[in-house]
Chain A
Amino acid sequence: MDGLRRHKSMFLLPGLLTLFLIIIFPLLFTIRVSFSGWNVSNPQMDFIGGANYTAMLDDSRFWTSITRLILLAGGTVLIQYLIGFGMALLVWREARGRRFWRVLFLVPMMTTPVVMAAIWQTIFHESLGPMNDLLGMLGLPRIPWLTESGPALFALMTVEVWQWTPFMFLLLLAGLLSLPKEPFMAAAIDGAGTWRTFWKVTFPLMAPVSVAAVIIRLIEASKLSDSVYVLTSGGPGSSTETPGYYLYIQGLRDQQTGYSGAMSLTYLVLMIVTLTIVAALLTRALKLKGDS
């Protein structure tokens, strides 16, 4: 019997080995790198203690990029959730043409983020882009979409919302389609209107799916860098830099391997803690709503 159990556990080995190679080893390696002075002119991993972490505490560009991302991700995910939920409700109710709408809504998500950002870069081009042409036709002034801090952040948020709302739509639609019919029948018998049914039945029942969708999107948004790279390159100045893009600059372009290792780990820990708290708060808030 013991032999059989040992034999069975051998089947776990490939999985464990893969896990070690793609997660545990890089993580341990990054921890080691983060305590080294490895940089472009010194490929040796000299141990330098916590110097990278000390330098990071003084790096306002890193901390500002984190604050910016929190606002950016929080804002865009909220908008994505609202629009995505609306679209899912629309398709859920609307029987005719449901398949067509589903496919249409998913098109942005199927496009590579870099390609999507390049298209939006053309749309937002200050002198040649259709966005400013449209404003001109309406008699409104042209906006420097990508060359002033405020408009550039707005442009970045637009691309994020455009690209990832379909993902939210897909998850929420799946959630809606899996809801039991009985509560809705009971609500109808009680004479509840559409709005009341939504708040008292649909929304509470959707709470677990909503939390999952929002958390998944927040995790994804925390890695935002590809559209920043294409759309604004972090500019103007450093006003659209996200931690992901800043890590790319430090780690890959400027080859500050040790320093970027320290920042990556710190950022990873911060994100795990933040997202855990957000998930707990969201779960509690939505449960309360559901109980009322």
Chain B
Amino acid sequence: MRSRPYKGLVAVAAAAALTATACTAQDEAQQKPKEKTALFKSGSDISYQKYGKNYPTTKVKDVPGSCSYESISRKDYSGQTLKIISHAVPVIGEPTQLHAKQFEEITGGKVEVVNVPFGELHQKILTPLQAGQPAYDVMFYPSLWIGDMAPYLAPVPEKYLNTTGMQDVTAAYMDVATWDGKVMQYPVDGDRHYLKIRADVLQDPKWQAQYKKATGKDLKVPTTWTEYQDIAEAFSGKDFDGDGKKNYGSAEVTKRDDLTFSAFISRAAPYVKNPDVKGGVFFDEETMKPLINTPGFVRALQDMVKAKSTWAPGGSNFGLGDEIFSFGGGQTLMSYSWDDAFIQAQQPDSKIRNTVQAAPLPGSTEVYNRTTKAWDKKANQAAYFTWGWTSAVAKASSHQEMAFDYLCFFSNEANTALDLTIGRFGVNPYRISHFAPEFWEKQGWDKDVAKAYVDTLSGMEENPNRVFDLRVPGVNQYMSALANGVAAALAGQESPQRALDGVAREWAKITDQIGKDKVQSAYRNVVALEDES
């Protein structure tokens, strides 16, 4: 039985919506911007300096094109209001606000930004969309939600796809923005998990000699999770930076409701993503039976539980902010997650600036083959493209041109160049031009640091063995169940195998609830990204 039994409520809501719409209705002529004199000359210097001392003094040139300051300032949106929902300040929320203010200043339109904590963002965006109410014209959200959002989004129009900025977006992030062959999300960020490590400690002859003596092995950037564990154990509890305080081996995102699922997938990637086996790592593509409790995932969880001894105090409940602070603040030797901790370490006021190094995620010496149900003995590394912020315009929005103009302005070359350098903004490389070491050297990064950074990131783009996020309807539920299982194992409530068996049962239930066909069809998009790259 399919019904809308709350007809009375719907009627009241509809009446209220109609009244509101009638009061704020824009006629078609108002949707299009009027032309006005440009406020910027082509190639003007752009800086955020006038918005406060929290912004860098860096200046970049406005790059000519349809999203430039010069072009957008020709448009007159006065009389129109754009409604935007974004994450809480600062991560992605602060650039949303900053560019909204700039957009208002140069177009005359009004831009209202609502900032919402991560835990409420999904619901606050999706509920009005499902109810058919265009509460927001522009939405900023994690790109892995595309399976839930896609039915309510307006595809990115051709003229925006042809801009220089959009043409420069990497193939992987254009794929992330695409659903059923159409670009539905407007790329504004690129995220991957990679390894961050204190190069000064690794390259110090004193520490190298001590490590060799203690373990019989050379001290170098770890290429497997086993090496990672060995190094983390050897340095945990030592004062390796000589500041009189204990340092620790590793910081990881382990707080259940704070993106732990991403950390776990990073650890599992080399054990589960076998380059010789096609068909996805999370489910059996044909039967949709969850694979989350197969030996590769179990091994990764065993590793993670073992790593507890190398974490700083409180490390078994670290959120992303704690991980950023722990590595970026110099407390730990290594960490792996998004760019933030690395960029934090490279901020001009950081005491460990230019002593850090980026490297690919550690791999494994064997990888599980789910077809033969045996471990294949071979060195394996897998890149993990873990969501990244994205943006989109609501299909029901009556300000679509203004909305897309805002997004193309948000991500124009000048703004993106400045945003990339502000760690707290959470805007990370997603265009080919962002992988030029010279850009980072201009920010005061050492040549070696910049090279290792761009090589690591661009190397992931080129790696054919890649894992992408689940990206199916109900992805939050799947990841919540996974995080709960991981947290239960980390807390010692259950063994890794039992915890992941529980997750597999939960996943099967969620699939039944949402509908096997619906999830399967969406999951094939993910598998295509992994197998056809």
Chain B residue contacts of A146, Cβ below 8 A:
314, 317
Contact B316 A147 (CB under 8 A): yes
Given contacts A41-B473, A239-B493, A253-B480, contact A233 B513 (CB under 8 A): no
What separation, in Å, do the CA atoms of A215 and B480 have in the docked complex?
35
- B119 CB within 8 Å of chain A: yes
The total of interchain contacts (Cβ-Cβ below 8 angstroms) comes to 116
What residues of chain A lie closer than 8 Å to B3, measured between beta carbons? 44-47
Take A39-B514, A42-B514, A146-B314 as given contacts and tell me if A254 and B491 are in contact as well, using a CB distance cutoff of 8 Å.
no
* B5: nearest chain-A partner, CB-CB: A45
A39: chain B residues at CB < 8 Å are 474, 477, 513-514
B2 CB-CB contact with A under 8 Å:
yes
CB distance B493 to A147 under 8 Å?
Answer: no
Residues of A near B514 (CB, < 8 A) are 39, 41-42
Known contacts A125-B314, A147-B317: A37-B119 contact under CB 8 Å: no
Q: Would you give the 0/1 interface string for B236-276, flagging 1 where the beta carbon is closer than 8 Å to chain A?
A: 00000000000000000001111000000000000000000
B131 interface residue (CB < 8 Å to A)? yes
Q: Which residues 1-44 in B have Cβ within 8 Å of A in the complex?
A: 1-6
Across-interface contacts of A233 in B (CB, < 8 A): 255-258
A43-76 interface bits toward B, Cβ cutoff 8 Å, 1 = contact, 0 = none: 1111100000001000001000000000000000
Chain A nearest Cβ from B48, distance in angstroms: 30
Q: How far is the CB of B245 from chain A (nearest CB, A)?
A: 9
Quote the shortest CB–CB distance from A241 to chain B (angstroms): 10
Contact: B493 with A238, CB < 8 Å?
yes
Q: How far is the CA of A232 from the CA of B258 in the complex (A)?
A: 12
Shortest CB–CB separation between residue B144 and chain A, in angstroms?
14
Q: Mark A105-149, 1 if CB is under 8 A from B, else 0.
A: 000000000000000000001110000100000000010101111
Q: Does B333 contact A (CB under 8 A)?
A: no
Residue of A whose beta carbon sits closest to that of B312: A127
Instruction: Identify which of B313, B480, B514 gathers the most chain A CB atoms within 10 Å of its CB.
Output: B313
Does A32 reach chain B (CB closer than 8 Å)? Answer: yes
Q: Given the complex of chains A and B, what is the CA–CA distance between A253 and B145 in angstroms?
A: 13
A125 to B326, CA, bound (A): 14
Asked if A238 contacts B488 (CB within 8 A), the reply is: yes
- A127-B256 in contact (CB<8A): no
> Is B287 on the interface with A (CB-CB < 8 A)?
no
Chain B residues positioned under 8 Å from A80 (CB to CB): none
Check A29 for interface membership: any CB of B closer than 8 A: yes
Interfacial chain B residues near A47, Cβ < 8 Å: 1, 3
Residues of B within 8 A of A132 (CB): 313
In the bound complex, how far is the Cα of B487 from the Cα of A234, in angstroms?
Answer: 10
B126 contacts the other chain (Cβ, under 8 Å)? yes
Cβ contact within 8 Å between A249 and B316: no
A148–chain B nearest beta-carbon distance, Å: 8
Alpha-carbon gap, A37 to B4, bound state (A): 12
Complex formed: what's the CA distance from A43 to B474 in Å?
A: 12
Which residues of B sit under 8 angstroms from A183, Cβ to Cβ?
Answer: none
A32 to B6, CA, bound (A): 9
Q: Does B351 contact A (CB under 8 A)?
A: no
Write the A211-236 contact mask toward B (1 if CB under 8 angstroms, else 0): 00000000000000000000011111
Nearest B-chain residue to A124, judged by Cβ = B314
Q: CB < 8 Å: which of A43, A148, A239, A249 contacts B130?
A: A43
| Complex: A125 Cα to B474 Cα, angstroms | 34
A237 within 8 A of B: yes
459-497 of chain B: CB within 8 A of chain A: 473-474, 476-477, 480, 484, 487-494
Contact A237 B314 (CB under 8 A): no
A197 at interface (Cβ–Cβ under 8 A)? no
- Majority secondary structure, A binding face: loop
CA of A38 to CA of B311, assembled, Å: 41
CB contacts (< 8 Å) of B123 on chain A: these are 252-253, 255
Q: In the complex the two chains form, what is the Cα distance from A60 to B509 in whole Å?
A: 15
Question: Which listed residue, A43, A237, A254, touches B256 by the CB 8 Å rule?
Answer: A237
The answer to whether A254 and B477 have CB atoms under 8 Å apart is yes
A40, A55, A149, A252: the one contacting B120 at CB < 8 Å is: A252
- Which positions 282-317 of chain B face chain A at CB distance < 8 Å? 312-317
Query: Which residues in B have their C-beta under 8 angstroms from that of A37?
Result: 513
- Which B residue's beta carbon lies closest to that of A125? B314
Residues of chain A from 241 to 277 with CB closer than 8 A to chain B in the complex: 249, 252-256
User: In chain B between 116 and 169, which residues have their CB closer than 8 angstroms to a CB of chain A?
Assistant: 119-120, 122-123, 126-127, 130-131, 148
A142 CB contacts on chain B under 8 angstroms? 313
User: A41-B474, A149-B491, A249-B480 are known contacts. Are A255 and B313 too (CB-CB below 8 A)?
Assistant: no
Instruction: Judge whether A147 and B314 touch: CB under 8 Å.
Output: yes
29 contacts between A and B (CB under 8 A): A37-B513, A39-B514, A40-B126, A40-B473, A41-B518, A44-B4, A45-B4, A45-B5, A47-B1, A61-B484, A126-B313, A127-B314, A142-B313, A144-B313, A146-B314, A147-B315, A233-B255, A234-B256, A235-B256, A235-B487, A236-B316, A236-B490, A237-B487, A237-B492, A239-B491, A239-B493, A255-B127, A255-B476, A256-B477
Q: Given contacts A147-B314, A238-B487, list 17 more A-B pairs with CB under 8 A.
A: A37-B513, A39-B477, A40-B126, A40-B477, A41-B518, A44-B3, A46-B1, A47-B3, A126-B314, A235-B491, A236-B487, A236-B490, A236-B491, A237-B489, A252-B120, A252-B123, A256-B477
What are the 7 A-B residue pairs with the smallest beta carbon separation, nearest first? A237-B491, A126-B314, A236-B491, A126-B313, A41-B473, A43-B130, A127-B313
